[in-house]
Amino acid sequence: MELVVDPCAASDDRDGDTAELARAARSGNTNRLVLLYERLLPALYAWASVRIPRSEMTPDDFVQEVWLRAIRNLHTDAATDHPFRAWVFGIAKNTLLEILRHRSSHRVKEERSGPSAIARVVPDSTTSVAAKLARDETMQRLLEFAHSLDRVDRDMFVHCALEGRSCTEVARQLGLTPEGAIKRWQRQRSRLRELGWLQKLLLEVA
């Protein structure tokens, strides 16, 4: 019987670096908070672009909303008891469910503290990064790649490449066998490795 090893099972250096940045950010290190934001932003922006109906909220507004909620809850038990990346994407999923449930972005906008609140937690030099990503050629090619996939492979891409979840965990959610999910991701990861322009956004596939 062929032994299939889950390529997503072990945390990589990127996850370790993210955890270190999160610990420093919680201690009040603003510079580390900015680096944490910049590290997670491309994957979070791509996630929003694939998942959110265009009529509901723009990806850059969504990313800022998710980040504000993360900042407000940075010192909670939930934030410290889970890997930071997984915790932030959990916030993203809850925010998306809220948007879809109400079929309107009004409630989300009312809960926001406005641009001044964003400026207090993320300097001006980075508040514009999300907007720049909308015009970034690499991001556009990434989104074209994601939308070219069939539904199952697109879900694998979102969960494994962007959220950093294990293939075996994703298999249960998608109704696949663990071996089937792992082989799907291995094939997709091989394709991603061949696309050098993706590396600056998706280090998890390296």
Q: Give per-residue pLDDT as tens, 155-168.
A: 999 998 888 888 88
Question: Measured between alpha carbons, how far is 25 from 90 in angstroms, rounded to an integer?
Answer: 19
pLDDT of residue 206: 41
pLDDT tier, 122 (very low <50, low <70, confident <90, very high otherwise)? low
Return the domain boundaries, the chain.
13-205
- Taking the C-alpha atoms of residue 178 and residue 117, their distance in angstroms, rounded to an integer, is 43
In the chain, count of helices (H) and strands (E)?
Answer: 13, 0
User: Is the pTM value of this prediction over 0.85?
Assistant: no
